[in-house]
Amino acid sequence: MASVSNTSIDTAEPEEQASSGPRHVAIIMDGNGRWAQARGRPRLFGHHAGARRVREIVECCPQYGVKYLTIFAFSTENWKRTQVEISGLMSLFRRYISKEMKALALRNVRVRFIGDRLRLDAKLVQLMDELEHETEANEGIHLTIALNYGGRDEVARATKRLAQDVASGQLSPEDVNEETLPRYLDTHVLPDPDLVIRTSGEARISNFLLWQSAYAEYEFTDTLWPDFTSEEMGRLCRKFGSRERRFGAVST
């Protein structure tokens, strides 16, 4: 596998964001199934409602100063669900990309996918590649969709690529440090998230952006994802702006 280039990561210094809103928000979109079951509908009904909610949240990002939005669509652990639900989700992903491709391009949204594509079907991967290509020149909101993604899996894959570069002599073991590994992660062209939101009342991170979220702020809301509005997004972004982020230092 080819080595990862030392692409500069678009990050802001901690001082620039200490009293401002989050520039990069990552969301664990949880609660679709429970939302549907509460209405006496199948779980996939909730996933479709959740997919529609994504558009509203993407569109509201400029209003709150959010430049980067990363959403957790399907984890490496989600393959444990029933085959009916998995097949339905894969169909939903294909339909979503096909339906939203032109709209995302017109709204100046840059779309990227992170995660291991090897297990995904060829048609879905083709659509993912096409959407990335169609939006690669856009400079508005950077939307990253985590699909067949797991934080531990990402680090393992990155470590394997790093080890291959060491073995081939492209990288010296002495040069490996905490600034080296991020260049091999799926997110190597993105800044780390400032704020991670999880909906549905669950208070765990579920293997999402483990390395990148080392200094992120977290918000856990009881709202189920299909009910998560732009207004709540704004409230959480404003709340973030009131926090003091010291990055291991002390208040002065």
Q: What residues are labeled active site?
A: 30, 78
Q: Identify the three-state secondary structure at position 195.
A: strand
State whether the Cα torsion 247-197-205-112 is positive or negative.
negative
Bridge partners (DSSP) of residue 70 are 26, 144
* First vs last C-alpha separation in the chain: 47
Tokens at 17, concatenated: 């964001």
Question: Token pair 């073995």 is at which residue?
Answer: 167
DSSP 191: P
Tokens at 209, concatenated: 């952006």
Instruction: Decide: 54 and 223 in contact? Cβ < 8 Å.
Output: no
